[in-house]
Amino acid sequence: MTTSIAEPSHPVSISPTTTKAPEPMKAFIIDRYGKKEVGRIAQVPQPELRDDDVLIQIHAASVNALDSKIRSGEFKLILPYRLPLILGKDVAGTVVQIGRRVTRFKPGDEVYACSDQDRIGTFAEFIAVKEGSLAHKPANLSMEEAASIPLVGLTAWQVLVETAKVRKGQKVLIHAGSGGVGTIAIQLAKHLGAHVTTTTSTSNVEWVKALGADVVIDYKKQDFATELRDYDVVLNSLGSDVLEKSLKILRPGGHLISISGPPTPEFAADQGLAWPLRQVLRFLSRGIRKKAKASNVTYSFVFMRADGAQLSAIASLVESGAIKPVIDRTFPLEATAEAMTYVDSGRTKGKVVIKIK
């Protein structure tokens, strides 16, 4: 359940000083929530530019599992969206306009970002992003490569660096190593000096080894819970069965971190959710929290947030060669629905990119 609060841009002018009607742009939108909702290409107004915003002409975006979860309405009780909604979190593009208080960027800069908590919508020709959420694009990447990184890169960073504080020599298990988060997390954990283990299917074993995994568990032939012991950190992005089995391989004092839920009471408090919803989330995570405590293990749920400073640090690692983007396929904006279906299939190796400009 890695996600971010979102709602579509307001239909006002892209300039805070002009009174003319907003210019239209092409975007991929949903009109309603539901598993059968496909989405469509539409002409919509360009986004509002606030004083601390940067307006980006989007060259490329990328698809995350989050996008389908938003489309299905999985988070509508927790995260307030307004329909019709432009989907998409990842963006790489060129700055075309800045707000009055912006100091670090100028028109013409090549940038990348994960869109802000209150606004998503990168499956479009333009988006407005807060200056603090933005970073200069890694100089050695194309726009398509850069667009593949923000959400998964920030997720890996916030799990491994910020939450787990991974140190040299620690043993780290990263589930689903061939997925979007997994491919970046393996590389980041290796850069941090960890001994990295991952799980994947038979066809991807050699491929994730090439990314840097020291040990690979083929989940079709092996059970990680019987093969592994005394791990310091587990990054879980899978279901509750894998989450609970992961407790068995952690040493006392180890850290189980999930990006797929269940959310913790701390998450509910951070999001400012209403008391009844806080109690629901407390109940949903009570089982894993209780089992973790009994095993002398810490359980955390990481909710990825936009962070330009962290993206700058990731860009430095990309430019040094420590992290390389992994792209499976690229689709045009008009085929966004097809791209999302492909990601939903669970067969991707790395990221799926939407080329817009």
Dump pLDDT digits (tens) for 288-315: 999 999 999 999 999 999 999 999 999 9
Residue 257 has pLDDT above 80, yes or no: yes
**Of 22-26, 90-94, 350-354, minimum mean pLDDT range:** 22-26
> How far is residue 294 CA from its own chain's centroid?
31
Do 76 and 111 fall within a single domain? yes
Do 196 and 260 fall within a single domain? yes
Rounded Cα distance between 336 and 27, Å, is 10
Dump pLDDT digits (tens) for 152-181: 999 999 999 999 999 999 999 999 999 999
Do 187 and 272 fall within a single domain? yes
Do 210 and 266 fall within a single domain? yes
Torsion of CA 125, 128, 133, 134, to 10 degrees: 60
Indicate the pTM of the whole model. Answer: 0.92
Query: With bands split at pLDDT 50, 70 and 90, how would you rate the model's confidence at 20?
Result: low
What is residue 146's predicted lDDT score, i.e. its pLDDT? 98
Residue 5 has pLDDT above 60, yes or no: no
Dump pLDDT digits (tens) for 174-231: 999 999 999 999 999 999 999 999 999 999 999 999 999 999 999 999 999 999 999 9
Do 61 and 122 fall within a single domain? yes
Do 69 and 207 fall within a single domain? no
Residue 50 has pLDDT above 90, yes or no: yes
Do 117 and 186 fall within a single domain? no
**Which amino acid type is present at position 231?**
Y
Do 145 and 180 fall within a single domain? no
Torsions phi, psi of 288, nearest 5?
-70, -35
Do 345 and 206 fall within a single domain? no
Query: Is 266 within a domain?
Result: yes
Q: What is the CATH number of the domain that holds 96?
A: 3.90.180.10
Q: Identify which has the larger pLDDT, 22 or 50.
A: 50
Contact (CB, 8 A) for 127 and 56: yes
What is residue 76's predicted lDDT score, i.e. its pLDDT? 83
Q: What is the CATH number of the domain that holds 266?
A: 3.40.50.720
Of 285, 301, 317, which one is at a domain's C-terminal end?
Answer: 301
The residue among 329, 146, 163 whose CA lies nearest residue 256 is: 163
Contact (CB, 8 A) for 88 and 28: yes
> How far is residue 333 CA from its own chain's centroid?
20
Do 180 and 293 fall within a single domain? yes
Query: Is 31 within a domain?
Result: yes
Q: Determine the structural domain holding residue 48 and report its residue range.
A: 24-149+327-355
Rounded Cα distance between 286 and 298, Å, is 13
**For residue 50, what are its two tokens?**
């606030």
Q: Which helix (H) or strand (E) is 135 found in, with range?
A: strand 134-136
What is residue 81's predicted lDDT score, i.e. its pLDDT? 85
Do 109 and 161 fall within a single domain? no
Contact (CB, 8 A) for 132 and 94: no
Rounded Cα distance between 168 and 232, Å, is 11
**For residue 316, what are its two tokens?**
């430095």
Rounded Cα distance between 330 and 284, Å, is 37
